[in-house]
Amino acid sequence: MRQPAAFLFDLDGTLAETLPDIAASCNHVRSRHGLPPADLAAVRAFVGDGARALLARALHDALPGAGTRREAMLDDALAMYVDHHHAQCTVHARLFPGVLPFLERERAAGRRLGVVTNKPERFARPLLAHLGVADLLGAIVGGDTLPQRKPSPEPLRAALRELGIAAASAVMVGDGVQDLRAGKAAGLSTIGCLFGYGDIATLRAEGADAWWASFGVAAD
């Protein structure tokens, strides 16, 4: 893969270990619905498609199958999650090893950097500031920034417009099939992260232009 002019990164499971905080807020909502705590492995399987989808999976046993009552319950659950996660989202979160020096090096070399995540922007921005990388980023697009979220290519296109970079000169880096599908649909090169929250076999089957075994470190 040739050197890109810009990198777009997923957040949860790509730039940062955020699962413990997601699990804490998820289990807060589960407890309010009479459900026992879900362990980290279970919560890992819930993430990737935004907070509402996470809660639909986390509350599967407590929700009606379909209809307006289900949607109303999800609305209430999301409000509960949002209220809890405002304080929780930075409690345990940390950058994966190698992230900060990679971002600093690439930014110093003149490359543009952005984050495109399905995490709501209201959490992504304070989290990235807490992690000390917000000032290195030229674009932050969250799961509620636009009507669409990954795997739609539109959030990536919005970030590229903000960065002033053409899709053919950029790469999408992420640990989920949503990232790889969005990158391909938008015309970016893709890097799949095998160290994150996505299932490795599923990622491999999806295909990417390159793979990282850990952040910034190539895998076969």
Whether 1 has a pLDDT exceeding 90, the answer reads no
Residue 188 to residue 136: CA distance in whole angstroms: 21
Q: How many domains does the chain have?
A: 2
Residue 66: predicted pLDDT:
84
Residue 115 sits at φ, ψ, to 5 deg, of: -120, 130
CA 202, 206, 211, 216 torsion-angle sign: negative
Residue 17 to residue 12: CA distance in whole angstroms: 6
Q: Is residue 205 part of a domain?
A: yes
Q: Which residues pair with 211 in a beta bridge?
A: 192
Same domain, 102 and 178: yes
Residue 167 to residue 214: CA distance in whole angstroms: 25
**Which sequence positions are flagged as catalytic?**
10
pLDDT digits (tens, 9 = 90+) for 155-189: 999 999 999 999 999 999 999 999 999 999 999 99
Residue 140 sits at φ, ψ, to 5 deg, of: -135, 115
Domain C-terminal end among 72, 88, 104: 88
Q: Is residue 1 part of a domain?
A: no
What mean pLDDT, rounded, does the chain reach? 96
Which residue segment(s) compose the domain that 72 sits in? 19-88
Contact of 64 with 102, CB cutoff 8 Å: no
Whole-model pTM: value is 0.95
Same domain, 110 and 214: yes
pLDDT digits (tens, 9 = 90+) for 133-142: 999 999 999 9
